[in-house]
Amino acid sequence: MKRALAYMVLTLGALLVIYPFIWMVGTAFKTLPESMGGSLNPLPQAWQWGNLSATLQAAPFGRYFFNSMLVGITVGLCVVLTSLLAGYAFARFSFRGRGVLFGLVLATMMVPFEITFIPNFVVITRLGWYNSYAALIVPWCANAFGIFLVRQAFLSLPEAYYDAAVLDGCGPLRFLRHIGASMVKPTLVTVFLFAFLGSYNALLWPLVVTSDPSMGVVQVGLASFVLDSGVRLNLLMCASAFVIVPSILLFLVTQRYFATGALGSGLKE
Amino acid sequence: MSLWVGFSDGLDRVLAWADGHLVGRSGRPEGGRRAALCLLAPALLLLGVFGVAPIVSTVLLSLFDLRYGNGAFAGLGNYQEALQSSAFWNSVRVTAWYLVGVVPTTIGLGFVVAWGLMHVTQGRTLFRTLYFLPYITSAYAAALVWRALLNPQGGLANGLLEWIGLPTQQWLLEPRGLLHVVTGGAVAADVGPSLALCCVMAFDIWHGLGFTVVILLAGLSAIPQELEDAARIDGAGVLQVIRHVTLPLLTPTLYFLLLIGTISGFQAFNSFYALTQSGGNTLGTTENLVIYLFANFYDNGRWGYGAAIATLLLVAIIALALVQARFARRWVHYS
Amino acid sequence: MLTRSFIGLSLLGGLIAGCNPTPSSSGDFQPLSTDQVVFWDRQTTETAQLLQRITDEFNDSQEGLPVRIETTGNYGEIYRKVMASIQARQLPAMAVSYESMTAQYAASGAVVPLDGFVSAASGGLSPEELADFFPAVLESNYYSDYDGQLLSFPFSKSVLMLYANHRVLRAAGIEAPPKTWEEFLQQCRTIREKTGKPAYAISVDCSTISGMIFSMGGELVVDGVFQYDQPAARQAFGLLETLMEEELAYQIQARTFDDEVAFARDDVAFTIRTSAGSANMAVAMGGKNDDWSMNPLPQQNLDRPATILFGPNITIFKTGAEQERVAWAFTRHFTSVPVMTEWALATGYLPIRKSVANDPRMQAYWDAWPSNKVPYECLAFAKTEPNLRGWQEIRSLVEKAESAVLAGLKSAEAATTELQVEAQATLARAQQ
């Protein structure tokens, strides 16, 4: 009885939540007049598979995908590394000014990103990084959220593990490499996913620091596609649907780690 | 493979050496400030240059009356102007309505879904993926779809209203208040959030729900099942178990979500930008603080003024986070 | 120690990055590339391919640095990027820009005046050549805020058009699209009566309002005084008010092409858009040229017609003598008669020089479909928006006023009265 209710609520909610995606995919494979027709049926009368190749020809999406994946994965890995090291340091070492420093790190999370544009753009050009992968990657290689999550994960580990390792003559860095990192692995995977998504879905920053088409990323490609295609709603939706696929795959691969309590158990003061 | 083994060995040796030198042989490594420095260096360097430095320069900028880079020192003039500007206070109201509307609703709905997911055996992975789908979609791509669904001409939303037999609406173009629209005009048009703002809020609730669900699931699965079972044996109903066992044990997670939700709510930009462009078409009723500072900073070239708004926003976020932290002591239970 | 050095580092970074608040207006900017002349543009797809071919031809024909096109997003994005780049003191050699954008760039001392290039004995433009450009196309590039210097050069231009769907007109028993605003309103009423449909899909846009005001016999600014409280502006906003009140028109979502969609779907008879959109409209209409037309904007007084000119210019930035020289040579090449002809034929943009009309290919293009020639004919009486500092900001005020009228929250009278005051105050502040 309770389970039936749960299923009903969940199914209803899920339908509401994914309706826009059904509409997106349906419209992507409609003919142009049908896509403009304002029909309430989200699915096409006849699936126009040709729309897919028409979309891919309209912009160099292959190159965009390569760039986005390269940038997203690199950012993800770098964030994991910097967060692991810094989170561990904040959790396991005591030094003067730790509280202030951690507060400053958290403060960077509270600045609206839009205002950091111009200062960061100036730094990027001074470094000669305009139109380069470095400009897309380096500024995002550390973030407060990741450091916070890793710190919480280490705080929630029982001290006994640590003490035992030290007694065995294992220093803090080797402890991190051999024991610590694997114990917070679910958190690291989570940090990777969020960093990847943040980078992959970013639009404004890539728009500002690149203009060379060979440096284009998918979101920028999508935005310029909106500009040209104007009324070609079906191709626009086809491109949008296509762009989400890597994120979905990544989520499917990583999602079992969320269930292990990567976030929930570690949220202690 | 042997390359990896070699690398791994080498790394170990370096780490052992570093452990020895940085920490010393003095037993517990708490005194290892040098080790901490090394560990923190990469993150601090990056955050310093790309995170804290912009804050500093923003605060500095806010003291100048700059238009496109030209201008003179103005002291607190920009702040004074902001506090006297009706457009500024309008954007404060929009931000406040947004926070009140989005944060509790997302957490509430997220709890219902997460609780449901805890109590089903089949298809949990599928459901979780479906609910997470909006969150992994870029706001930009998702907004394209929502704009089509909310299109007053031929969009799904008005199609449904027509089907039910209700008057159609202007949705993202409607500057009148939600209450005004719902009551058929009994409430004044400028009371409460506009219908357009409510559409943006609905979008962000939809977009952020998956994140909340995943975090709540993690929190729920950390609660020992025996506690709930014990309460149920004592004769407590479902709601009573939730009220007296589940929710209290979930408070750390709820607090985390509240904090994250508030911070990102203050910073909401993408949804507003992608759904309503500048907010001009809704007469400022979808112009939150970030959109307001963005328009001033970039479109109007008022760097100093925009920076002052950004500084006020930063102060507001930190203040609210501190207030929440203070109140958290009363209601958050750490096991 | 750690904390202090972190804070110190950040402070230092903040000071370096942090925008030296008073940049010296003298001194050049670094070019984006030292071995190429970078041009920031917004063209895409077929138009971009053509521009690339023209550029390749230009590069083959000259000895200097090659020109490189970089597609940089829409105008708002280009504007933001240029402003950020001015702050970083590193700029492309040139960029497409509207007059209001150029006026702001010039305030930072980044723009090269072109008067010297134009009057130069070699590589300049003779008085005859200058006279070959339509006056409206050229004159908005002389900026009164900067001693009347020529700070930009016309690039691709279009004019505001009334698009008419003849299927809907026929259904309402209407023979021809309206020539005056009075006829326009009358036809809208007839369409509503006969077909039950609204006649016009409104896209909120400052330039469209400006064009309506021009065509109703008004001006936007006279001697530094806005004219929004004058009869023509009142009439333009009043027309919108009437259209909404009588349910003859509706508003589409901002920055979308929903009006073109509705037009192609026979949901409305009219949209008012620039001639640059005709290629997209042709796609949406499925190539059925008999079913739609481009017409001059309706007028108040057919003896003294007026409309508004759209489209960007090229602004050249202070990035060093060689970059600037090539940038000008490219601009001159692009606006030469043969290139202009090719550009106009392929893109539907206006040929901005009179002698292009002599080309037989141009004549053939115009003969192919009557609507093809209409934008060109309107060029003779097209006017431009002001190129004053502060106009960029005022544009959003105009759109706010328009939205208020369309939503029925303000009368045309009240909206224009408020707009006048706000626009004047904003202009005064921007001109300080």
B35 and chain A in contact, CB less than 8 A:
yes
Q: Are residues C82 and C227 in the same domain?
A: no
- CB–CB contact A21 B127 (8 Å): no
Q: Which chain C residue has its CA at the smallest distance from B196's CA?
A: C253
Placement of tokens 């025996």 in the chain: B226
Ranges of beta strands (E only) in chain A are none
Residues in chain C: 432
C108 and chain A in contact, CB less than 8 A:
no
Q: Are residues C231 and C244 in the same domain?
A: yes
The answer to whether position C266 is within a domain reads: yes
Give the model confidence (pLDDT) of A112-154 as tens digits.
887 787 789 888 988 989 889 999 999 999 999 999 999 988 8
Q: Which chains touch A (3 or more CB pairs under 8 A)?
A: B, C
CA neighbours within 13 Å on the CB side: how many for A96? 4
B291 and chain A in contact, CB less than 8 A:
no
C376 and chain A in contact, CB less than 8 A:
no
Q: Largest Cα–Cα distance in chain C?
A: 85
- Look at phi and psi of residue A21 and say left if phi exceeds 0, alpha if psi is from -120 to 50, else beta: alpha
Give the model confidence (pLDDT) of A64-123 as tens digits.
999 999 999 999 999 999 999 999 999 988 888 889 999 889 888 888 887 787 789 888
- CB–CB contact B36 C2 (8 Å): yes
In the prediction, which pLDDT does B25 show? 47
d(CA B11, CA B24): 19
- CB–CB contact B153 C252 (8 Å): yes
Structural contact between residues B309 and B89, judged by C-beta atoms closer than 8 angstroms: no
Q: What SS3 state is found at B277?
A: coil
To the nearest 10°, the Cα dihedral for B309, B314, B316, B320?
160
Structural contact between residues C308 and C378, judged by C-beta atoms closer than 8 angstroms: no
Q: Which chain C residue has its CA at the smallest distance from B48's CA?
A: C10
How many CB atoms are located within 10 Å of the residue B224 CB?
11
**What are the Cα distances from residue B308, in Å, to B97, B268, C28?**
22, 18, 30
Give the model confidence (pLDDT) of C146-173 as tens digits.
999 999 999 989 999 999 999 999 999 9
Q: Give this complex's ipTM.
A: 0.90
Q: CA-based angle B247:B251:B257, to the nearest 5?
A: 115
Q: How many angstroms separate the CA of residue B149 from the nearest CA in chain C?
A: 12
Closest CA relative to residue B155, chosen from A20, C199, C164, A229: A20
Q: Which chain A residue has its CA at the smallest distance from C259's CA?
A: A231
Determine the angle formed by the axes of helices A218-229 and A50-58, rounding to 10 degrees.
100
Q: Which of A6, A111, A259 sits opposite B54 (nearest CB)?
A: A111
Domain boundaries, chain B: 2-61, 79-331
The domain spanning residue C137 has which CATH number? 3.40.190.10
Closest CA relative to residue C180, chosen from C298, C306, C293, C297: C298
C40 and chain A in contact, CB less than 8 A:
yes
* pLDDT above 60 (res B63): yes
Which residues in A lie closer than 8 A to residue B130 (C-beta atoms)?
A: 14, 17-18
d(CA A237, CA B137): 13
Q: How many angstroms separate the CA of residue C119 from the nearest CA in chain B?
A: 30
Structural contact between residues A116 and B56, judged by C-beta atoms closer than 8 angstroms: no
Q: What SS3 state is found at A5?
A: helix
Q: Are residues C40 and C146 in the same domain?
A: yes
Name the DSSP letter for residue C94. E
Q: Are residues C419 and C304 in the same domain?
A: yes
Structural contact between residues A137 and A79, judged by C-beta atoms closer than 8 angstroms: no
- What Rg do the C-alpha atoms of chain B give, in angstroms? 25
Q: Which of C44, C70, C72 sits opposite A228 (nearest CB)?
A: C44
- CB–CB contact C409 B175 (8 Å): yes
Q: How many angstroms separate the CA of residue A121 from the nearest CA in chain C?
A: 7
Q: How many angstroms separate the CA of residue B72 from the nearest CA in chain A?
A: 19
The amino acid sitting at C298 is P
Tally of structural domains, chain C: 2
In the prediction, which pLDDT does B11 show? 83
The answer to whether position C426 is within a domain reads: yes
- What Rg do the C-alpha atoms of chain A give, in angstroms? 23
The amino acid sitting at B197 is L
Q: Which two tokens stand for residue A86?
A: 């810094």
Q: Are residues C342 and C416 in the same domain?
A: no
B161 and chain A in contact, CB less than 8 A:
no
Q: Are residues C426 and C345 in the same domain?
A: no
Range from C39-48, C270-279, C358-367 carrying the lowest mean pLDDT: C39-48
Determine the angle formed by the axes of helices A61-92 and A98-110, rounding to 10 degrees.
150
The answer to whether position C176 is within a domain reads: yes
Which of A94, A120, A125, A203 has the highest number of chain C CBs within 10 A, making it the mutation to test binding with C? Answer: A125
Instruction: Tell me what the pLDDT averaged over chain A comes to.
Output: 86
d(CA C159, CA C172): 28
Which residues in A lie closer than 8 A to residue C203 (C-beta atoms)?
A: none
pLDDT band at A260 (very low <50, low <70, confident <90, very high): low
Give the model confidence (pLDDT) of B65-108 as tens digits.
887 666 789 899 999 999 999 999 999 999 999 999 999 999 99
Q: What SS3 state is found at C205?
A: coil
Name the DSSP letter for residue C252. P
To the nearest 10°, the Cα dihedral for B18, B22, B26, B31?
-140
Delineate the domains of chain A, giving CATH numbers in brackets: 1-48 (no CATH), 55-259 (1.10.3720.10)
Q: How many angstroms separate the CA of residue B65 from the nearest CA in chain C?
A: 9
Structural contact between residues A256 and B213, judged by C-beta atoms closer than 8 angstroms: no
* Arithmetic mean of pLDDT, C188-208: 95
Q: Which of C14, C108, C400 sits opposite B57 (nearest CB)?
A: C14
- Domain of residue C215: give its range: 160-309+388-431
In the prediction, which pLDDT does C12 show? 57
Give the model confidence (pLDDT) of C209-250 as tens digits.
999 999 999 999 999 999 999 999 999 999 999 999 999 999
pLDDT band at C25 (very low <50, low <70, confident <90, very high): very low
- CB–CB contact C80 A231 (8 Å): no
The answer to whether position C1 is within a domain reads: no
Range from A168-177, C91-100, C130-139, C379-388 carrying the lowest mean pLDDT: A168-177
Beta strands C94-97 and C37-41: pairing type?
Answer: parallel
Output phi, psi for A131, to 5 deg: 65, 40
In the prediction, which pLDDT does B279 show? 53
Q: Which chain B residue has its CA at the smallest distance from C198's CA?
A: B153
- Window 217-256 of B, Cβ < 8 Å to C: none
Domain B79-331 falls in which CATH fold?
Answer: MetI-like fold (1.10.3720)
- CB–CB contact C396 B278 (8 Å): yes
- CB–CB contact C16 A123 (8 Å): yes
Residues 6+ apart with CB under 8 A from C309: C136, C137, C140, C157, C158, C159, C379, C382, C383, C384
Q: Which chain B residue has its CA at the smallest distance from A28's CA?
A: B145
Burial of C127-138, coded b for 16+ CB within 10 Å and e otherwise, reads eebeebbbebbb
- CB–CB contact C16 A126 (8 Å): yes
In the prediction, which pLDDT does A18 show? 94
pLDDT band at A24 (very low <50, low <70, confident <90, very high): very high
Structural contact between residues C181 and C299, judged by C-beta atoms closer than 8 angstroms: yes
Q: Which two tokens stand for residue B201?
A: 């809020």
Q: Which chains touch C (3 or more CB pairs under 8 A)?
A: A, B
In the prediction, which pLDDT does B235 show? 82
Q: Which chain C residue has its CA at the smallest distance from A224's CA?
A: C73
Range from A236-245, C114-123, C203-212, C250-259 carrying the lowest mean pLDDT: C250-259
Structural contact between residues B244 and B270, judged by C-beta atoms closer than 8 angstroms: no
In the prediction, which pLDDT does B291 show? 92
- CB–CB contact C265 A220 (8 Å): no
Burial of A129-166, coded b for 16+ CB within 10 Å and e otherwise, reads bbbbeebbbbbbbbbbbbbbbbbbbbbbbeeeebeebb
Q: CA-based angle A244:A248:A249, to the nearest 5?
A: 120
- CB–CB contact B53 A86 (8 Å): no
In the prediction, which pLDDT does C16 show? 53
Structural contact between residues C231 and C218, judged by C-beta atoms closer than 8 angstroms: yes
Give the model confidence (pLDDT) of C306-330 as tens digits.
999 999 999 999 999 999 999 999 9
d(CA C31, CA C90): 6
Q: Which of A104, A117, A232 sits opposite C84 (nearest CB)?
A: A117
Give the model confidence (pLDDT) of B175-229 as tens digits.
999 999 999 889 998 899 999 999 999 999 999 999 999 889 888 888 888 888 8
Burial (Cβ within 10 Å: 0-12, 13-18, ≥19) of residue C431: exposed
d(CA A203, CA A219): 6
Q: Which residues pair with C162 in a beta bridge?
A: C272, C295
Residues in chain A: 269
pLDDT band at C13 (very low <50, low <70, confident <90, very high): low
How many CB atoms are located within 10 Å of the residue B197 CB?
28
- Window 206-235 of B, Cβ < 8 Å to A: 206, 209-210, 214-222
d(CA A62, CA C314): 31
Q: Which residues pair with B300 in a beta bridge?
A: none
The amino acid sitting at C29 is F
CA of residue C348 relative to chain centroid, distance: 15
Which residues in A lie closer than 8 A to residue C83 (C-beta atoms)?
A: 118
In the prediction, which pLDDT does A55 show? 86
Structural contact between residues A114 and B18, judged by C-beta atoms closer than 8 angstroms: no
C3 and chain A in contact, CB less than 8 A:
yes
The amino acid sitting at C65 is L
Give the model confidence (pLDDT) of A196-222 as tens digits.
999 999 988 998 898 888 899 999 888
Q: Which two tokens stand for residue A228?
A: 């040209």
d(CA C316, CA C306): 30
Output phi, psi for C304, to 5 deg: -125, 70
